[in-house]
Structure 1
Amino acid sequence: MSTQESYPIDVDAIREDFPILQRKIGGDVTVPGPSEDDDTPLVYLDNGATSQTPDQVVDAIADYYRTYNSNVHRGIHHLSQEASVAYENAHDRVAEFIGANGREEVVFTKNTTESENLVAYAWGLNELGPEDSVVLTQMEHHASLVTWQQIGKKTGADVRFIRVDEEGRLDMDHARELVDDSTKMVSVVHVSNTLGTVNPVSELADLAHDHGAYIFVDGAQSVPNRPVDVQDIDADFFAFSGHKMCGPTGIGVLYGKEEILEEMEPYLYGGEMIRRVSYDDASWEDLPWKFEAGTPVIAQGIALHAAIDYLDDIGMEKIQRHEEQLVEYAYDELTAFDDVEIYGPPGDDRGGLVAFNLDGVHAHDLSSIVNDYGVAIRAGDHCTQPLHDTLGVAASARASFYLYNTHEEIDVLVDAVDEARQLFG
C-alpha cells in the first residue's frame, strides 16, 4: 500500500480545508447534521456526483454576500462595479484554466446539462435537418444523449451511436463508419462517468472536422482532475460543472469557439443579454453576455474562480497522478474478489472511478451495507441507462475519488464490500 509520503500531493493538509471530511456518520438520519450517536468516520467516495467544497471557496461566497453583494452590469454605484469586475474576472480565470482565447469564449450556465441544451437548441434547431446526422457514443450521459435525441426528433436528424467494445473503450473503426459527410455534430463524453474510459477526444475532433462537423466534448468528469486545453483538443464546444471541481452547485461552463458563438442565436431572452430593444425588434449584447440572460450566477462564478485557484495551487498534473494511484489501487483490491465485476478499462488506464457489481447483490443493497461503514458511494444507472442496458445490468455501484481521498479510505470500502459478500453468501 502507498503511504502518505508517496502521494504526489499533501493529502493531510488538503483534508484540513474540508471540515465535512471530519464528520461522523450515524444517529438519526431524519435530522440533518451530526447527532450525539454519530460514531463512524465519513469516507466520501461519491465525487463523480459532486465533490466537497473547501473553506477557501466557501469564504469567497460568504465574502461576496457580506461585502459587495449587488447585481452586475446594471449599476454605476460602487457595489455593482465591484461585483461586475469580480464576475468578469471569473470568466477570464476560467478561460485561462482551460486554454480558451478569452472571456468571449466562456459562457456561464447552471451546469453541464444546460450547456448541452444551449448548443442543442441555439445551434441544433437552426442548423440540423432530415439529411443530417449527429453522432454520439453508447457511453453518453443523459445530458448529452437525451438532449440530442430530442433535437433529432424535432429536426429529423439521424442520431447515431459509436459502439463500446468489451473493454469499455470506443470502437474507433465504428466511429469512422458513422461519422460521414452528413454529420454536423459529434458529441462525446471526455471521461465516462460509468466506465472510467478516457476517450480519444482529439482524434474524434479530427474525424469530425475532416467531415466538416463540429465536436462537443462533455468534460464534467475530466476538468476537475486533469489538465485540459480546449485548443489542444480542438473542441468546438466544451462543457463542465463547478460542483464537481471543489466549486459550488449552480454553475456550469460552456466553452465555444468565438466565431461559432458569434453566429449562433441566443437560447434565452430577457435582461442582460440585449443591446437595444424596440417594440419591433432587439439586438444582442457582445459575447459572452448574449447567452447569459437575466441576473447571472454571480456568487457561483466568483466561487468558481476561487475553486480554480485552489486546484491550480495544488497542481492539476499532481491531482491527476493522485487519482490514478487511487483508482489503480481500488481496481486491484476489488478485482481480487472473484465475485466482483468492474466495468471499463484496466485500473492503470482509466479516470478516477470504478463502477462495479457484486454477484447476487443489487447495487442499492450493496450501497446500503457500505453506508453502514460510513462510506458514501453511488448506486443506480448513473444517468447512463442505455449503457447499463448494453452491459446487461440494471444498476451498478460506483466509487469515485478525488484529491482528498486516501488508500486507507479505499481499504474501508473493500472491507465493506467483503462484509456484503459474507452477508449474502
Structure 2
Amino acid sequence: MYNYERFESEVRSYCRSFPTVFCKAKDHLLWDIEGKEYIDFFAGAGALNYGHNNSFLKEKLIEYIVGDGITHSLDMATMAKETFLGKFYEVILAPRRMNYKIMFPGPTGTNTVESALKIARKVTGRTSVISFTNAFHGMSLGSLSMTANPGKRRGAGVPLEYCIRMPYDRFLGDSESSLAFMRKFLQDKGSGIDLPAAMILETVQGEGGLNAASFYWLREVEKIGRELGILLIIDDVQAGCGRTGTFFSFEPAGIQPDIICLSKLISGYGLPMSLTLIKPEYDIWSPGEHNGTFRGNNAAFVTAAAALTYWEDRTFQEQIQQKAERVHRKLTQMIADYPELRGEVRGRGLMQGIACGVDGLAENICKSAFRRGVILETSGPRDEVVKLLPPLTITEEVLDQGLQVLEESIQECLNNELHVA
C-alpha cells in the first residue's frame, strides 16, 4: 500500500475501507495479491450487476476490440450506438409502453443528473428543484446541491443553491405527513416557495440509508407534480437496471417519470456510461447545448447491448426477486435473533441491509466481514446501515455463504460490545 499512501490524494476512500490490493475478479469473487478470496457484496457500489468479467459480456467486448471497432467517437453515429439504441427500445422501452428520447450526457451518474436538472429548467423556465431528505445525487455542483449529506456538500466550497428540501417518505413518521407537508408548502402562498421546475428522487435511497419509498407515496408525489406542473425526475442510477427486482425501480408503483437518470449499472461491465431518458415533448435541446468529450463510450455500448439479453424474458427478473426474498428472510431472522442490534431491515430487491441502532456497530460489522472474506459497505447519514449489493447473477449457494459470514460478523461484534460493557 506504500505507493497509494505516498502518491495518491487523501481523497481516496474505498481503499481505506478495504485495506488490501486486489488483482483478480470473476463473477461474484475477488482475489487480492496474497491470494485471499472475497465474496463481493459490494459489486463496485452496484455498478457490476452481472458480476466481474461476465463471460458473455467479455466475449462481446473482446470481439469488438479485436475487430478494431470504434472506441472514441464523441457523439458521432457508430454501429455500436445504433445496436444499443435499437436493443434498448426493443427489450426495455417497447414492452413497457414507454416513450422516451435517449440522451447520452457523459460517462457518470452525476452527468445524467446534471443534464436532467438543466432540461427541466429549460422546459419550465423555472430555477429551483425539489430534492428530499437523505438524498444523494452526485458530486458536481448541480447534483451536489440536490444531495443532503453534509460531508459531501462541504466539499463544494461555494454555496449550493436552487434546491428546496422536502421530507422523504416516512421522514416525518408516516407517508401522509410528508405528503401533507409538501402540499402545504407548494400550495400555500404564504410559504415563500416559488414553484419549482422539477422534483428529483430515488425510489430507494442507496447512500442515504436504504430508505425505500412506498409505492403509494411515489404515486402521490407524481400526482402533486402533475397537478402543479412540476416535472418528475427519477434518479435510478443505483436502484435501476434490475437492482430492486425490475429493470426500472419505479415500475411496481406504476408511475411515468418525465425524466429518468441511469448510469452505474447500464453498461453491465463496469464501463463508464450514463443515459438520460426524456419524454419526447421535453426534448427541446439545441444541438450541442449539452456537450462533452466522452458522451459516446462505444465499448460500453457493446457490453450494455449484450447485457440487455438478460431482460429479453422474465426469467432473470424472477431470479432476482427470488434471491431478494431469500435475503429479506435471512436479514429479518438476524434482527429477531440478535435484538442487541436494535436492527431494522431496509431496502428492496438485492439492495437491502440492516440499520443498526447502536452507534458504530454497522462499520464494525463490515470490518469483521472483510476480515472473514466478504466485502460490504455502510450507508446512511451516520454510517448506521450494513448495505448489501451483491451481483444480480450471484448463485444462491454463494449468497447464503455471504449471509452466513455476515451473521458470524454480527455475533463477533455483539460479543465484543458485551465484553466492553
One fold, TM greater than 0.5?
yes
CA distance in 2, matches of 1:358, 1:255: 38
Aligned to 1:408: 401
Amino acid at match of 2:322: R
Q: Is the 8 A contact 2:57 2:269 kept in 1?
A: yes
Summarize deviations over 1:131-176 as a string: whole Å, max 9, x none.
x642222131142996356489999745131244269875333333
Aligned to 1:159: 164
Residues 69/93 of structure 1: CA separation in 2 closer, same or farther (3 Å cut): same
Unpaired runs of at least 5, structure 1: 1-17, 26-32, 75-79, 270-291
Of all paired residues, the percent bearing the same amino acid is: 12
Aligned to 1:61: 61
CA distance in 1, matches of 2:271, 2:33: 22
Residues 122/56 of structure 1: CA separation in 2 closer, same or farther (3 Å cut): same
Q: Deviation at 1:35? A: 3.1
1:136 to 112, 119, 131: 131
TM-score, normalised on structure 2?
Answer: 0.71
Aligned to 2:388: 399
Matches within 5 A, 1:241-280: 241-243=263-265, 246-263=268-285, 266-269=288-291
2:198 to 185, 206, 216: 185
- Superposed CA RMSD in Å reads 3.8
Q: Deviation at 1:198? A: 4.0
Q: Is the 8 A contact 1:240 1:252 kept in 2?
A: yes
CA distance in 2, matches of 1:303, 1:312: 15
TM-score, normalised on structure 1?
Answer: 0.70
Q: Is the 8 A contact 1:136 1:187 kept in 2?
A: yes
Q: Is the 8 A contact 1:120 1:151 kept in 2?
A: no
Q: Deviation at 1:128? A: 5.2
Moved more, 205-214 or 118-127: 118-127
Aligned to 2:220: 203
Amino acid at match of 2:235: D
Q: Do structure 1's residue 115 and structure 2's residue 116 form an aligned pair?
A: no
CA distance in 1, matches of 2:119, 2:171: 36
2:246 to 203, 212, 227: 227
Aligned to 2:121: 124
Matches within 5 A, 1:12-411: 19-23=26-30, 33-36=32-35, 38=36, 41-47=37-43, 48-51=45-48, 52-53=51-52, 54-70=54-70, 84-99=78-93, 104-107=101-104, 109-124=106-121, 127=124, 129=126, 133-143=128-138, 147=142, 150=145, 157=162, 159-165=164-170, 170=175, 171-180=178-187, 182-193=195-206, 194-200=209-215, 201-219=218-236, 220-225=238-243, 226-228=245-247, 233-243=255-265, 246-263=268-285, 266-269=288-291, 296-312=296-312, 314-343=315-344, 345=346, 352-357=351-356, 359=358, 361-379=360-378, 382=379, 388=381, 393=382, 395-403=384-392, 404=394, 406-411=399-404
SS in 1 for 2:212: coil
Q: Is the 8 A contact 2:129 2:164 kept in 1?
A: yes
Aligned to 1:424: 417
Residues 156/44 of structure 1: CA separation in 2 closer, same or farther (3 Å cut): closer
Moved more, 210-219 or 193-202: 193-202
Summarize deviations over 1:233-286 as a string: whole Å, max 9, x none.
2111111224377432301221111221235675534xxxxxxxxxxxxxxxxx
Residues 179/326 of structure 1: CA separation in 2 closer, same or farther (3 Å cut): farther
